[in-house]
Amino acid sequence: MINYKDIENKTLSSIEKEYPFITSFYESNKLVVEENENTTLNEYFNSFTEEEIEEWAIDIDKIKEDMIIFINEMLSFLGVKEEVGVNSLTILPGQDKSGNKENFEELTINKSEIISIVGPTGSGKSRLLADIEWTANADTPTKRSILINGDIPDKKWRFSSSNKLVAQLSQNMNFVMDLTAREFIELHARSRMVEEEEEVIEKIIEAANHLAGEKFDLETPITSLSGGQSRALMIADTAILSTSPIVLIDEIENAGIDRKRALNLLVSEEKIVLMATHDPTLALMANKRIVIKNGGIHKVIETDEKERGILVQLDKLDAITSKLRAELRAGNSLNVEDIVL
Amino acid sequence: MNLITVSGPPSSGKTSIIIKTINSLHQRDLKVGVVKFDCLYTDDDVLYEKIGVPVKKGLSGSLCPDHYFVSNIEEVVQWGVDLELDVLITESAGLCNRCSPYIKDVKAICVIDNLSGINTPKKIGPMLKSADIVIITKGDIVSQAEREVFASRVHSVNPKAITMHINGLTGQGAYELSTLLYDEGDNIDTVKGKKLRFSMPSALCSYCLGETRIGEDFQMGNVRKMDLGGKND
Ligand SMILES: Nc1nc2c(ncn2[C@@H]2O[C@H](COP(=O)(O)OP(=O)(O)OP(=O)(O)O)[C@@H](O)[C@H]2O)c(=O)[nH]1
Ligand SMILES: Nc1ncnc2c1ncn2[C@@H]1O[C@H](COP(=O)(O)OP(=O)(O)O)[C@@H](O)[C@H]1O
Ligand SMILES: [Mg+2]
Ligand SMILES: [Mg+2]
């Protein structure tokens, strides 16, 4: 932890050398460093005239305070990377909508595990996901508690914007930035202060192309990617670049992306994956299935070998659909003989 | 009564968030009222009425909406006190990036959406920079990466604020926000004598007073000229 006194008499260039990330703070707050490199921080702040302060709506005291908070947070954020991450997530029971205790004792999910959540609309699936995101501590309508690595979690998971517990993927998401795939990944990598930028970019694009039916390259604008390609890039980027240890998935459609590979990618990056889905293939790929009823966890079903056997049949169905899709794309007629189970 | 000022660019999701949050406050049997400040037009009062919330609206018309806000906030507070509200929320459309309606020692919330572009946090002045809580909406329609980049930009202009992601459509996150809003000990029965967090710029030129004709001859008062000579600033 540093405080203002520690840096007030340092020059802007020595501050930048010590805390390279400060440039993004200067930039966002429109503080001009050029030509002031050898000015001390105090001299720099004192150099603003009354008119400039009024004109650009600057609050010097607030900026000083913000700068210190920013530096301290970045220092602890950069430190966190080396710390032990999230190895497990535990859900302790609360109550359903009628106030009855939930029907399980304790559910622990470890990293690299996949959990599916099923239940009719309005049953409380989103509420469960929200409890996890908020690291509920018997203080939400469900009265559930969430533990991280077996302990009551640090409040940072609720409020810090660089330490979000949960990343989300859903089929409604689109890219809105006007950037190429390379620029997009670069931007994300920089906001995360990643050092091996080129390596990470290569890794993400390779992973995305491994998931997508049709390949694309780094110079493609992200807004012109197909649905499947966009989804593939989002998943690869979330798996590799997002800091969040838990990924919540709200259905991934079947078209244009290899969902099994997508889940494997997330798991191989040591994420905990939770997905609300009614797709049998996805549900069976999960290690466990949480059944929600009337706002409470009603059952936890482990996917056993017998159930998993169904996957083989489903894969065949998928293969048929893919083949038919490929025929359509190629402009051919479809044959009923192609449908053999 | 608790007073909360909510501000943010047009259509950023203020009303959606406030309504979803009020639902959670209602569950705790708190009486909530809303006053909407806008410039030319708003339908928000109808939305608030629909969920049974006492509501007033004020249109500033030809005046700056934030100046209009400060000139009326004391009366608005008295309206809330008379209704014996537990929580009074003001919603203002932040139309100008220079002003903000935040008052010292009154909870200030800025609502900003993921679709507004990653340079927006840099462009918005005191409305974002001096807020206590920043709500980021519309995360449901952009990618995880864009959400992360946007949040980090918000963070770098206001590291002190609590940043929360709320979905204005489903209300995910609104319950959580509601837990930060009401504090029994935090009682306000007047804002007389309180101060704005940030001065509002002085602007009084002939156009403020209704001038429509163009040309130097008609420009009086606080007029400033662009420098079209050299490079852009
Ligand atoms: N997809 C999505 N849409 C949202 C979200 N929040 C708000 N909206 C939509 O955005 C539009 C504007 O939302 P409002 O809540 O009216 O925004 P506002 O800030 O109150 O707007 P003004 O008061 O007119 O300035 C509406 O159509 C909302 O349904 C969100 O989180 N996700
Ligand atoms: N255990 C519970 N106690 C009280 N309310 C609950 C509980 N579980 C869910 N709810 C509420 O029920 C509503 C529907 O739940 P939601 O999670 O949106 O359902 P789903 O995502 O399955 O459609 C929400 O308003 C939620 O807050
Ligand atoms: Mg839901
Ligand atoms: Mg509104």
Q: Which domains does chain B have, with CATH numbers?
A: 2-186 (3.40.50.300)
Q: What is the mean pLDDT of residues A118-140?
A: 91
Q: What is the mean pLDDT of residues B219-233?
A: 68
Q: What is the mean pLDDT of residues B6-13?
A: 94
Q: What percent of chain A has pLDDT over 70?
A: 96
Q: Is residue A311 within a helix (H) or strand (E), and if so which, with residue range?
A: helix A305-329
Following DSSP, what letter does each residue of A87-150 receive, concatenated?
-EEEEE--B-TTSPBPS-S-EEEETT-EEEEE--TTSSHHHHHHHHHTT-BS-STT--EEEETT
Q: Is B29 left (phi over 0), alpha (psi -120 to 50) or beta?
A: left
Can you give the pLDDT at residue B209?
Answer: 67
pLDDT of residue B96 exceeding 80, the answer is: no
Q: Which of B6, B12, B16 maximizes ligand 1 atoms within 8 Å of its Cβ, making it the mutation to test the pocket?
A: B16
Q: Which two structure tokens, joined as six digits, stand for B229?
A: 């000579």
Average pLDDT, chain A: 89
Sequence spans of domains, chain A: 4-78, 88-303
Q: What is the mean pLDDT of residues B19-43?
A: 93
Cβ of A57 and B125 within 8 Å? yes
Tell me the shortest Cα–Cα distance from B159 to chain A, in angstroms. 6
Can you give the pLDDT at residue A229?
Answer: 92
A221 touches chain B (CB under 8 A): no
User: Could you read off the pLDDT of A150-171 as tens digits, one per residue?
Assistant: 999 887 788 876 678 899 998 8
* First-residue to last-residue Cα distance in chain A: 64
Q: Is residue A325 within a helix (H) or strand (E), and if so which, with residue range?
A: helix A305-329
User: Could you read off the pLDDT of B117-128 as tens digits, one per residue?
Assistant: 888 998 888 999
Q: What is the mean pLDDT of residues A310-318?
A: 88
Q: What is the mean pLDDT of residues B30-56?
A: 93
Residues of B in contact with A230 (CB under 8 A): 143
Cβ of A54 and B144 within 8 Å? no
User: Could you read off the pLDDT of A229-241 as tens digits, one per residue?
Assistant: 999 999 999 999 9
- Topology annotation, domain A88-303: Rossmann fold (3.40.50)
pLDDT grade, residue A142 (50/70/90)?
A: very high
- At position B40, the amino acid (one-letter code) is L
Which distant-in-sequence residues (6+ apart) come within 8 Å of A239 by Cβ?
A207, A247, A265, A266, A268, A269, A271
Q: Bridge partners of B89?
A: B4, B34
User: Could you read off the pLDDT of A248-306 as tens digits, one per residue?
Assistant: 987 776 667 888 899 999 999 899 999 988 888 888 999 999 999 999 999 999 999 99
Residue B16 or B221, more confident: B16
pLDDT of residue A203 exceeding 60, the answer is: yes
Q: What is the DSSP letter of A326?
A: H
Q: What percent of chain A has pLDDT over 90?
A: 53
Residue B56 or A154, more confident: B56
Can you give the pLDDT at residue A82?
Answer: 45
Q: Which two structure tokens, joined as six digits, stand for A270?
A: 């040591």
Q: Which of B11, B46, B114 maximizes ligand 1 atoms within 8 Å of its Cβ, making it the mutation to test the pocket?
A: B11
pLDDT of residue B225 exceeding 80, the answer is: no
Which range among A197-206, A311-320, B84-93, B154-163 shows the weakest confidence by mean pLDDT? A311-320
B165 lines ligand 1 (CB under 6 A): no
Can you give the pLDDT at residue B179?
Answer: 92
Residue A189 exposed, middle or buried by CB count within 10 Å (0-12, 13-18, 19+): buried
- Write down the pTM of the prediction: 0.83
Find the residue in A nearest to B138 (Cα).
A173
Contact A102, A128 (CB under 8 A): no
Is residue B100 classed as helix, strand or coil in its secondary structure? Answer: coil
